[in-house]
Amino acid sequence: MGLQTVPEKLAALRALMRERGVAAYVVMSADPHMSEYLPAYWQVRLWLTGFTGSVGTLVITDTFAGLWVDGRYWVQAEKELAGTGFVLQKLTADEGSTHIAWLAQHLPTDAVVAVDGRALSIAQYQALEQALASKRVQLDTAQDLITPLWQTRPALPLAPVYEMAAGINSLSRADKIAAIRAHMRERGVAHHLVSSVDDIAWILNCRGSDVECNPVFLAHLYIAAERCVLFVQAAKISAELQQALAADGIQLQDYAASGDFLTGLGDGAVLLDAAKVSVAHLLALSDTVSVVYDINPSTLLKACKSDAEIEHVKRAMHKDGVALAQFFAWLEQALAAKTAISELTIAEKLREYRAQQAGFIGESFATIAGFNDNGALPHYHATNESFAMIEGNGLLLIDSGAQYEDGTTDITRMVAIGELSTAQKRDCTLVLKAHIALAQAVFPEGIAAPLLDALARQALWQQQLDYRHGTGHGVGFALNVHEGPQILSYYAPMSAYNKMRAGMITSNEPGLYHEGHYGIRIENLVVNRLLPQTGAYGDFLTFETLTLCPIEVACLDTDLLTQSEKDWLNAYHQQVRTALADSVSGAALDWLLRHTEAVA
């Protein structure tokens, strides 16, 4: 039968820990590529705890079991951990709230802490090592205590890798590898290992489907001046693709061979991104190889989209806008007819309309459709066991997105169901004010992205309100919906890498959440555009909004908007109407025209 319940799994893990002399076992939400979204094989936290959020860190000792998550997941985790033996640990901006701080405080001297080094980044390992050094704690990264217990652990995925359609990419993979090699020469390094799967997909102009909603494939990529090796399961690569890769000087080796390959490297420095490479790979290196830590050059290169790539994204946004107009027209008619609609129905119908668009690959993340109190959970996900019907009065939050062969979308809209209260309309308007403030921003090129967060939050801060997530994240080009290095969040550290540059695509998604009542978020994707004039203070950027979908005025108290804010809303709605009117008809066109009427 195997282990069934969370308490059974926890008890079995503790027994194995005692057998192997392990005082604490740490489980990261990661894989050997430090991915945010994981293939089933690496979803250890979900298997062990039942917590369905996308992130979280576990610490298990003989007497304690904790899950560390940030404010997006506190309410969700409290519910899902009830009765499991795991206790919610609230992660905040305070360094003392981390699992590392907890370990440093509670572990005895000379204890053994085990963590699977394949799913622990170099940076995380170094942080643990530094924090626990005074207690002479031994970090054992070779221990895998999960596989012996998880008898039905899924196999690694074997989905085929494919080349992107001709004409989509501005640069060939040979061009991209040449740019990375130029950066390596500047840094004086002989070797470079890339483990982050979105970087590898971007470099090779290939995509896959190893991870749900992310068009990536599991692989590692080694780059040197005269050699390039892709470590990937051979079954994923067709003979045709293998030939195409070989023509660009890319050799293939087995996915599991990357560690042994690194052990055999000769002299010279290797460039590693400490946040994106596992400590298992670091420890595989011989003593003759020195390490230079820096961000992957490809991360910075792929963040700044070319004009041609932005035009492709605009075409994807147009397709998405058409699908959304059709969906919202259907929703309006279904509600008027009192058709039974659940949060699950919302996700199903959105996918149905998007799937009718050319080049549709799939969703860019699992749709978040949250009605009333469910909308107050920023990363809520309806399931067959737990969902709400869309009935009565209230706010419906819909956060969704799609992967098209020519772009990635991510949008959140609010829908008024029945009659809204004065407070609900006021709060929706405050969130729109925050959205508009950021959308209208002008800022110096190279400004640290976290600094822009305050521009959006002002409208809420003035009312002593806030939200516990960032205002914006980078978005890939027909790639991951969450992409670095830029992040608009005052919680995020500022670094030399998260500066705003022309061509970056970022989400603009302020929110407001009243636990147990309702949640609000309004999200568009925007791209950094250089302003034409350059003066004594250098170049300045502004945002161009890419998303094409009306913002429902029925959710707003327009008397609270300034004339400038009304002008922005009217101009945006005119942009949406002009872009989509010739591409929709019938009920969808009627819906579009009514929802893009000017606000007086």
What is the distance between the alpha carbons of residues 368 and 379, in angstroms, rounded to a whole number? 7
Burial 333-366 (b: 16+ CB within 10 A, else e): eebeeeeebbbbbbbebbbebbeebebbbebbbb
| Residue pointed to by tokens 């030399």 | 496
| Residue pointed to by tokens 């609270």 | 560
For the chain, state the CA radius of gyration.
25
Q: Is the pLDDT of residue 495 over 90?
A: no
Q: Which fold is adopted by the domain 304-595? A: Creatine Amidinohydrolase (3.90.230)
Residue type, 224: A
Query: The pTM is what?
Result: 0.94
Q: How much is the average pLDDT of 327-351?
A: 97
Q: How much is the average pLDDT of 133-162?
A: 95
Domain ranges of the chain: 6-140, 162-299, 304-595
227's tokens: 């050699």
Rounded mean pLDDT of the chain?
Answer: 96
CA atoms within 13 A on the CB side of 223: 28
Q: Identify each DSSP E strand in 70-209 by its residue range.
A: 87-90, 112-115, 138-140, 162-163, 191-194, 206-207
Looking at residue 4, what is its pLDDT?
87
pLDDT band at 428 (very low <50, low <70, confident <90, very high): very high
Helix, strand counts (H, E) of the chain: 17, 28
What is the distance between the alpha carbons of residues 465 and 291, in angstroms, rounded to a whole number? 45
DSSP H/E element including 481: none
DSSP H/E element including 294: none
User: What is the CA angle 84-86-89, rounded to 5?
Assistant: 145
Q: Which of 450, 519, 516 is nearest to 487 (CA)?
A: 450
Looking at residue 384, what is its pLDDT?
85
pLDDT band at 221 (very low <50, low <70, confident <90, very high): very high
Per-residue pLDDT tens digits for 14-47: 999 999 999 999 999 999 999 999 999 999 999 9
Q: How much is the average pLDDT of 432-440?
A: 98
Q: What Å distances lie between residue 106 and 23, 97, 101, 190, 494, CA to CA?
A: 11, 13, 9, 42, 30
Looking at residue 524, what is its pLDDT?
98
Q: How much is the average pLDDT of 209-218?
A: 96
Q: How much is the average pLDDT of 501-522?
A: 97
| Residue pointed to by tokens 């020519």 | 406
Looking at residue 145, what is its pLDDT?
96
Q: Which of 168, 100, 167 is nearest to 134 (CA)?
A: 100
What is the distance between the alpha carbons of residues 295 and 268, in angstroms, rounded to a whole number? 18
Q: How much is the average pLDDT of 100-107?
A: 96
pLDDT band at 471 (very low <50, low <70, confident <90, very high): very high
Looking at residue 378, what is its pLDDT?
86
Q: Is the pLDDT of residue 1 over 70?
A: no
Percentage above 90 pLDDT, the chain? 92
**Can 6-140 and 162-299 be said to share one CATH topology?**
yes
Question: For residues 485 and 303, is the Cβ–Cβ distance under 8 A?
Answer: yes
DSSP structural state of residue 485 = E
Looking at residue 316, what is its pLDDT?
98
What is the distance between the alpha carbons of residues 31 and 515, in angstroms, rounded to a whole number? 32
Q: By mean pLDDT, which of 26-35, 321-330, 461-470, 528-537 is the weakest?
A: 528-537
Q: Is the pLDDT of residue 534 over 80?
A: no
Looking at residue 391, what is its pLDDT?
95
DSSP structural state of residue 82 = T
Residue type, 216: V
Q: Which of 388, 374, 387, 391 is nearest to 336 (CA)?
A: 391
List the beta bridge partners of residue 483: 474
Q: Is the pLDDT of residue 2 over 80?
A: no
pLDDT band at 535 (very low <50, low <70, confident <90, very high): confident
List the beta bridge partners of residue 250: 228
Q: Is the pLDDT of residue 163 over 80?
A: yes
Per-residue pLDDT tens digits for 45-102: 999 999 998 899 999 999 999 999 998 889 889 999 999 999 999 999 888 999 999 9
Q: Which of 367, 365, 363 is nearest to 397 (CA)?
A: 367
Residue type, 344: L
Question: For residues 486 and 504, is the Cβ–Cβ distance under 8 A?
Answer: yes
Looking at residue 382, what is its pLDDT?
87
Question: For residues 508 and 523, is the Cβ–Cβ distance under 8 A?
Answer: yes
Domain 6-140, CATH class in plain words:
alpha beta
List the beta bridge partners of residue 223: 192, 228
Q: Which of 99, 116, 196 is nearest to 150 (CA)?
A: 116
Q: Which fold is adopted by the domain 162-299? A: Creatine Amidinohydrolase; Chain A, domain 1 (3.40.350)
What is the distance between the alpha carbons of residues 226 and 335, in angstroms, rounded to a whole number? 62
| Residue pointed to by tokens 């899902």 | 80
User: What backbone torsions phi and psi does residue 347 show, to the nearest 5 degrees?
Assistant: -65, -40
